[in-house]
Structure 1
Amino acid sequence: MRRCALLTTDHLEDYFVYDQMLIEPFKQKGWLAEEVSWRNEQVDWSQFDVVLIRSTWDYQQDVTKFLAKLAQISRTSAQLENSLKIVEWNISKGYLKELQSQGVNIVPTLWFDNFDYEQLSQSFAHFVTGELVIKPMVSAGADFTYRLSLANLAQLRQELSEVFATRAFMVQPFLNGIVNEGEYSLFYFSGEFSHAILKKPKTGDFRVQEEHGGLLQTVQPSDEMLVVARHCLAALPEDVFYGRIDLVRHSDEFVVIEIELIEPSLYFNMDPASPQRFVDAFIQRFG
C-alpha cells in the first residue's frame, strides 16, 4: 500500500482540523494516509510516496525552520505538495503585489518594511477611510492582525511598535463588506473547482476564522467570483495541487484578500463530497 503523510503539527487541540476525513477515501484507493507533525525529528520522510502540507498552523512562529524542513523533505524520494517553490512564493503576502501586476484585483494595500508611526497615521488619509487593518507579511490565523481607528491608534502605538519592530507588514482599509456580507473562500483541487463557503465574523469582531467565533455556510459562487478565481490560478508561478482563494466585495466587485497555497483549511466538513473529490484529484495526479 502506498503511503501519504498529511503534514500537521503538535498541539492542535484549540483548532478545527478536518484532515482525518481524507483517511478513509485514501484507503479505498489503496493509499495509507496518516497525520505526521513537521516538528517530529525522527521521521524518515522517504517512507512516504507523497507528503501533503496540511495543518502546519504554527509555521509562522519559526518560518526558517519550517522552510528547512520542507527543503529536507524535498531532498528525499517523497513528493512534496504543494511544492517548496510555491510555498516560498506564497509564504509572504508580498505575492499579492505580483498578482496585482498581472491584473488581479486585490484589496488596496500599502507595504511597509519598518514601523513608522507617522506613515501609518497618514494611511487613513491615503485610503480616505476611518479604519485600517494592519497585518504581518508572514502570518496565519489572523495572528498579529489589528483593526485600527483614529481613536485607538495612539493607544496601540507602543504595542504596534513592538509587534512590528522586526516584521514587515501591510496596511489596508478596513472593508465593511467583511462584516456586512462576509469573506468567500473558493477551493480548487488540481485546478478544478470543488466547493465554496462564506465566512462571517461573530458580532463585534472582524476575524472570520472558526477559532475566533466565525460563522460558516456553504455557498454557490457567482460567475464573477469564478472568473476572479480562475484569473488568480492562471497568474500563479506554477500549477498547484490544492488552493484556497479568499474574496471580498469591494466597490461593487470582488477582490482578492489572499490566496492560500501552503496550509489552508479546506473545510471538508462543509461539503460531504469534498474529501472524495480531493482524493480523486490526488489519484489522478499521483496514481
Structure 2
Amino acid sequence: MSTIGFLACETTMPSAGERRGDAFEHDLMIAALEPAFAAEGLDLQVIDWEAPLEAFDGFELVMLGTAWNYQDKAEAFLARLEALAARGITVCNSPEAVHWNATKTYLRELAEGGAATVPTLCRSDVARAELEEAFDHFDCDRLVVKRQVGAGALDQELIDRNALPPRDWRFGHRAMIQPFLPAIRDEGELSFIFIDGELSHALRKLPGKGDYRIQSLYGGTESVHAPASDEAAAARAIVEALPFDRPLYARIDMLRGESGALMVMEAELIEPYLYPEQGPDLGDRLARAIATRVSSK
C-alpha cells in the first residue's frame, strides 16, 4: 500500500489545541478522501507540513491539503516542498506551481496571455494616496485591497470612496487593489474544481448577510452550480493557460463582469479547499489520479 501525505498545519490538525474556525473543512476533506484512497490501495496520512523531514520517510506523494498558514511562512513553505521533492517524494501541486501561484501577480501574466481577469493594480504597499489614485483609475466608489501573498481573505479590506481611512493609514503588505464588483453579492463567486485537468464539479459561493467575503469564516455559503458550456469552457481555458504541466488539482474562482463574461478572480493551485460536499465523487477522482501518478514513478 502506498503512503500518501495530506499536508495540514498547526491550526487545522485535529490534534491542535485551538483549531481555526474553518477547520471543519479539513475534516470534510479527509472524510471524503480516506475511503476512496483505501479503495485504490493508498494509505492517507495527515501530517503537519512543518514536521521534521524524517517524519516523511516512506511517503510516495504528498498533496498540499490544508496548509493554511503558508502565507505567513511562504519562503519556509516553498523550501519544505523543495526538500520533499529532493527526497524523491512527488509533491502535488509541484514546487514550481506553488512558486508561480503564491504571489497573486500571476493574474497579470494570465491577462497578458489573453485571459479575462478582474482589473487589478499591484503595489508594494498601499497608503491613502494609492487609494485615491485607484478610485480615479477604476472610476468606482468601492475598492478591495488584498495581500499579494495571502489566502482566506486574511487582512483584506473593503474601502468606500466616501469613508477613506486616516491619512496615516497603510495596508502594510504587498498589495493588489481591485474595484468591488457587485456580482459577488448578486450572483456570487463561481468556483470550478479540476482534477487532473478534468472538471469535477462547480459551485456558487455567496457572502453572508452584511458581508462581501465568501469564506465560511465570515458566514459565506456554498451551493452546487451546474455550469453552462461556455462557463465550463472559460474555466478550462485558464487551466490550459497555466505555464506548467497539468496540476493534480486546480480551483478556478471566477466572477461575472458588467459585460456578462466571467473573469478570473484567482487560480488556486496551492492549498485550496475543494468542496467535497458539492462534489460527491471528488475523493474517487483524486484517488484515481494519485494512484496513476504513484504507479508511473
Secondary structure at 1:193 match in 2: strand
- Post-superposition CA distance 1:128-155 (Å, at most 9, x none): 1100000010000000111110122234
Residue 74 of structure 1, CA deviation: 1.3
Distance in 1 (CA, whole Å) between partners of 2:294 and 2:190 is 29
Which residue in the other structure is 1:152 paired with?
163
Partner of 1:222: 228
Tell me what 1:73 maps to.
84
CA contact (8 A) 2:187 2:206 kept: yes
- The answer to whether the Cα contact below 8 Å between 2:37 and 2:283 also exists between their aligned partners in 1 is no
1:128 aligns with 139
The one-character-per-residue Cα deviations of 1:74-129 (angstroms, maximum 9, x if unpaired) are 11121111000010000000100000011000001111123342122121121111
SS in 2 for 1:71: helix
Distance 1:109 1:250 in 2: 13
TM superposition outliers: structure 1 runs of 4+ over 6 Å: none
CA RMSD, aligned part only? Answer: 1.4
- Secondary structure (helix, strand or coil) at the match of 1:99 reads helix
Aligned 8 A contact 1:71 1:84 in 2: yes
Q: Which letter does structure 2 place at the counterpart of 1:271? A: G
Counting only pairs closer than 5 Å after superposition, residues 44-63 of structure 1 correspond to structure 2 as 44-63=55-74
Report if aligned partners of 2:42, 2:291 keep a CA contact under 8 Å in 1.
Answer: no
Q: Distance in 2 between matches of 1:42 and 1:92?
A: 26
Q: CA deviation at 1:42?
A: 5.6
* Closer/same/farther in 2, CA of residues 46 and 237 from structure 1, 3 Å limit: farther
Distance 1:3 1:88 in 2: 25
Query: Can you give the 5+ residue segments of structure 1 that lack an aligned partner in the other structure?
Result: none
Matched residues, percent identical? 32
- Equivalent residue in structure 1 for 2:39, among 11, 28, 31: 28
Candidates 29, 53, 64, aligned match of 1:19: 29
Contact 2:128 2:164 in 1 (8 A): no
Q: Which stretch of the first structure deviates more once superposed, 62-71 or 127-136?
A: 62-71
Letter in 1 for 2:215: Q
Aligned to 2:213: 207
Find the aligned partners of 1:66 and 1:154 in 2 and give their Cα distance.
33
Specify the SS of the correspondent of 1:140.
coil
Contact 2:93 2:247 in 1 (8 A): yes
Residues 184-243 of structure 1, C-alpha deviations (whole Å, 9 max, x = no match): 100000000100110000111010011211011011112222121121111111121100
**TM-score, normalisation: structure 1:** 0.94
Code of the aligned partner of 1:240: P
The question of whether the paired residues in 2 share the 8 Å contact of 1:6 and 1:19 is answered with: no
Distance 2:98 2:75 in 1: 12
Among candidates 194, 199, 202, match of residue 196 of structure 1:
202
CA contact (8 A) 1:55 1:263 kept: yes
- Alignment check: 8 A CA contact 1:3 1:32 kept: yes
1:169 maps to 175
Distance (whole Å) between structure 2 residues aligned to residue 200 and residue 43 of structure 1: 42
In the aligned structure 1, how far is the partner of 2:213 from the partner of 2:125? 25
Match of 1:111 in 2: 122
SS in 1 for 2:145: strand
